[in-house]
Amino acid sequence: MSIRKIKKTNSFQVRYRDHQGVQRAKTFTLKKDAEKFERETKLAMERGTYTDPSKGKSLLKDIYDEWFRTKEGLTPKSKHFYESLWRVHIAPTFGESPIKTITAHAINEWAIKKATGATATTSTGRIEKAQELLATLLDYCVDLNLLPKNVARKANGKVNKLKVSSTDKKRPSTGLTPSELMKLANASGHFRPLILVMGLCGLRWGEAIALRPIDIDPAKGTILVARSISEVGGGFTIQDTKTHKARIIVIPEMLRDELVVLSMTKGPEELLFSRNGKYLSNSMFHQYVYKPAIKQSGIPNVNLHDLRHTTASIAIANGANVLVLARMLGHSTPTMTLNIYGHMFKEDLESVAKSINDSVLQAIVD
């Protein structure tokens, strides 16, 4: 690697061979800029982070297409999710950009505009998901040696996400009280058992509507949760549960007979909850069953997923520990359960502290 002065143009040229032995040259007006480039290039080669400058001309839209083709194993719902994030949020701003021109500042400005612009309608959560996808695409570029580093990540490797104000933070998950759950179930007509399965057993929507009579064990009073139904663009596909693991749920006694009787009215492989034998559409269920039931019962306007939080709330209030709750809800780890429902264990911690205190005081007395 060397620097030579070009007298004809009064400029300075850095000549070097890249990691593949290709002779390259770059010209600068100022000698100090040439020296800086020489130092940085030499250091990048020593560290193994050198990239061919011409490769950074690839457009992000082409990178996305190539990356997406590697994701054949994703579920239809996940593919639709990524396609939506790309089409709606990332492509309009960065799709036509050469990857080397995308900067941390540009990403931050884009996220702020999404959250606070005059036409901002996107939730912070969805903006963060879009930032994560953008970071993943730039990771892909780094892996292919198209970029020397990922500008969407901090020095610690975490995605540089938009900071959420205190008023925009996601509210703690609490769900309904037992009384509110029963009012909602009783207002849901023949879908009462579906509401109770979600509110007392903690099944996800896709898991609940995938249940069949064969999944109900009358003798043991259990439900086998082994599959889920995914709805994408009006179509339905049967797939594994979110964690790709089956689990067995013990049915609360008050619901057991109701589920067993319902299962006996259908064939073993038929859907336990359906619309004339067909898959239940989430949007249709919301419009024609759930929202009217919310209004009729007079309970807080919670979303359908809050029924799962109701299960957690009731279970914790009745002494369930985090391991049991994680198994019941089908979480991959107890840590995930604590991240979502840790605030509900506060009273548990207080009662434990009181028990420790009382035990020590009793020992002192004895």
Domain holding 81: CATH number? Answer: 1.10.150.130
In sequence order, the β-bridge partners of residue 14 are 3, 26
Where residue 321 sits, what CATH number does that domain have?
A: 1.10.443.10
Rounded Cα–Cα distance for residues 255 and 88 (Å): 43
209 token code pair: 């509507």
pTM strictly above 0.75: no
Rounded Cα–Cα distance for residues 327 and 336 (Å): 11
- What pLDDT is recorded for position 168? 45
CA 343 to chain centre: 20
One-letter identity of residue 87: R
- What pLDDT is recorded for position 249? 95
Whether 360 maps to a domain, the answer reads no
Across 133-279, the runs of DSSP E, i.e. the strands, are: 216-217, 222-225, 228-232, 235-239, 247-250
Structural contact between residues 351 and 320, judged by C-beta atoms closer than 8 angstroms? no
187 token code pair: 């207002």
Average pLDDT per block of 10 residues along the chain, 366 residues long: 87 82 84 89 75 78 94 85 93 94 92 73 82 94 87 88 52 78 96 96 95 96 95 85 93 94 95 93 94 95 91 87 91 86 69 72 72
Alpha helices in 221-280 (DSSP H): 253-264
Of 77, 192, 100, give the one whose Cα is nearest residue 151.
100
Whether 337 maps to a domain, the answer reads yes
Fill in the DSSP letter of residue 172.
P
| Statement to judge: residues 40 and 61 lie in one domain | no
Range of the domain at 114: 57-168
125 token code pair: 């959560």
One-letter identity of residue 166: S
Three-state DSSP at 69 gives helix
Helices 253-264, 192-201: axis angle to 10 degrees equals 140
Fill in the DSSP letter of residue 52.
-
Whether 352 maps to a domain, the answer reads no
Structural contact between residues 326 and 337, judged by C-beta atoms closer than 8 angstroms? yes
Asked which of 145, 168, 191 is the last residue of a domain, the reply is 168
- What pLDDT is recorded for position 342? 76
Structural contact between residues 110 and 160, judged by C-beta atoms closer than 8 angstroms? no
Rounded Cα–Cα distance for residues 276 and 359 (Å): 59
| Statement to judge: residues 163 and 183 lie in one domain | no
| Statement to judge: residues 293 and 329 lie in one domain | yes
Counted domains in the chain: 3
- What pLDDT is recorded for position 167? 41
Rounded Cα–Cα distance for residues 167 and 197 (Å): 33
Three-state DSSP at 21 gives coil
- What pLDDT is recorded for position 121? 64
| Statement to judge: residues 201 and 152 lie in one domain | no
- Which residues are within 8 A (CB) of 89 and not within 5 positions of it... i.e. 6 or more apart? 114, 122, 126, 127, 130
In sequence order, the β-bridge partners of residue 257 are none
Whether 366 maps to a domain, the answer reads no
Whether 160 maps to a domain, the answer reads yes
Of 353, 304, 182, 189, give the one whose Cα is nearest residue 252.
182
- What pLDDT is recorded for position 146? 86
| Statement to judge: residues 163 and 191 lie in one domain | no
Whether 358 maps to a domain, the answer reads no
Three-state DSSP at 110 gives helix
Rounded Cα–Cα distance for residues 305 and 286 (Å): 11
| Statement to judge: residues 238 and 187 lie in one domain | yes
- What pLDDT is recorded for position 201? 95
| Statement to judge: residues 318 and 283 lie in one domain | yes
Asked which of 168, 202, 235 is the last residue of a domain, the reply is 168
One-letter identity of residue 52: D
- Which residues are within 8 A (CB) of 14 and not within 5 positions of it... i.e. 6 or more apart? 1, 2, 3, 25, 26, 27, 28, 34, 37, 38, 41
| Statement to judge: residues 69 and 112 lie in one domain | yes
45 token code pair: 């080669």
Across 48-164, the runs of DSSP E, i.e. the strands, are: none
| Statement to judge: residues 13 and 83 lie in one domain | no
Residue 201's H or E segment, with its range, is: helix 192-201
| Statement to judge: residues 284 and 313 lie in one domain | yes
| Statement to judge: residues 278 and 312 lie in one domain | yes
For the range 66-74, what are the long-range contacts, defined as Cβ-Cβ under 8 Å and sequence gap of 24 or more?
66/140, 67/136, 67/137, 67/140
Rounded Cα–Cα distance for residues 197 and 329 (Å): 12
Whether 245 maps to a domain, the answer reads yes
Whether 359 maps to a domain, the answer reads no
| Statement to judge: residues 293 and 184 lie in one domain | yes
